Structure 1
Amino acid sequence: MKHNYALVQSACVFYGFTTETTSRLLEMVDQSDQEEWYEKYRPDIAPWLVQLLDLEAMADRIRIFATLVPGVCQVPGYAEALGAMNLEHIDDPSYARRLAEIRAQRARRVFGRKGVTVSIMLDEGALLRQVGGAEVMAEQLQHLRGLATRPNVEISVLPFSRGAVAATKGAFNILEFDQPEEPDLIYMENYIGAQYSVKGSVLNELRSAMTACCLRPFNSGSTNHEH
């Protein structure tokens, strides 16, 4: 509500909060005053994913390692192709479309927000696997090229030539926050659920795994790879 927004803004001035802290608090007020966008999609969203949707919309830094193009980067055709393979929704022809809408909303909440930096490490197979066919993949790669040109987005590729590395144990997201009361965390998803962890040892291990990998910047002009 606008009353809440004005009240918090006045309090920040009164207590002499910095511009950064004020902006952060006002952003939180905006988010709390709005009905969550995903409520109408609730039946299509796994319970363990709801928390991630809230957290990634507030994180200061997001790091992703993915063996497929991550949901937040998917074009509609790519998302729909994955949705069409979901056996739980085989009798619901509109599920794939709804999945694409959910992922488009996630992207707007992440990439449309100021102050967030996103680092994405793609296994090379994510660029070569034909999800949805050649036309969809051409669109998907073009979308990744566009994202890679943004100043707050970095996309790199883990090449096949790197062999077996720690990061290939599975996909994961690292969400990092500047505020000390908001701990950094790991999100890992599998077939039967997902796991969140704030353990420092796990965070350090996965950060080290990403740093140690011999990466190649995502080539914004070509998708040809040397093996």
Structure 2
Amino acid sequence: MAGDTESFTFTVMPFYLAEISPINLRGSIGVFSSLCRALGSLIAHILGFAFFYSQTKWPIQLSLTACFAVINLILFPFCPESPRWLFITQNRREDGIKALQLLRGHDTDISAEIEEMKAEYLKSIQVSGNQTIDTLQILKFKRPEWKMALILGSVVQMGIQFSGFSSVMMYTTDIYESAGLGMREIAYATVGLSSLNVVMTGVSVSCL
């Protein structure tokens, strides 16, 4: 259950936020999810101080993951469907407009966003010829207009993995132990690393 929730958080949620966001805020809101994850990690490490030296209390903090997973699974069905997915991909224009109005508020003028979605729909028809595009077609780079976006996205993701960030965060304790730090120093160093992650993520958000 926690794994399903985390998969949704890291994969579906950024796309969902990008699709429901106004076009002028799309980048900032998409990166804001990364800031929230960094803050969550920092809070978890700070809370870990209360259980770090106890052999019996650490399951309490671990169980908090299940609590948040249950809350997410309960709330997921109440999330409005993506207006862009309804309007552009599914060609369900009325449903897309209703979803957009629900997200923006019934007193908000959404005519500009509707026109923007219409233009994107027409562009998608020109590109795909009203055909469904599957993952295999994308991976084969059959259409040159996708190449640059796919290459840039792939390079960024590979750069993140090759940077070693994930390994450092996963094996922080082992790394600090091999450096000769004691358990208390490891705890403070871990919180310091998470704090640095929050600061740099915040800098990235402010630059967008």
**Which structure carries more strand by proportion?**
1
The structure number with the bigger radius of gyration is 2
Q: More helix by proportion, 1 or 2?
A: 2
The structure showing larger relative contact order (alpha-carbon pairs under 8 Å, at least 6 residues apart) is: 2
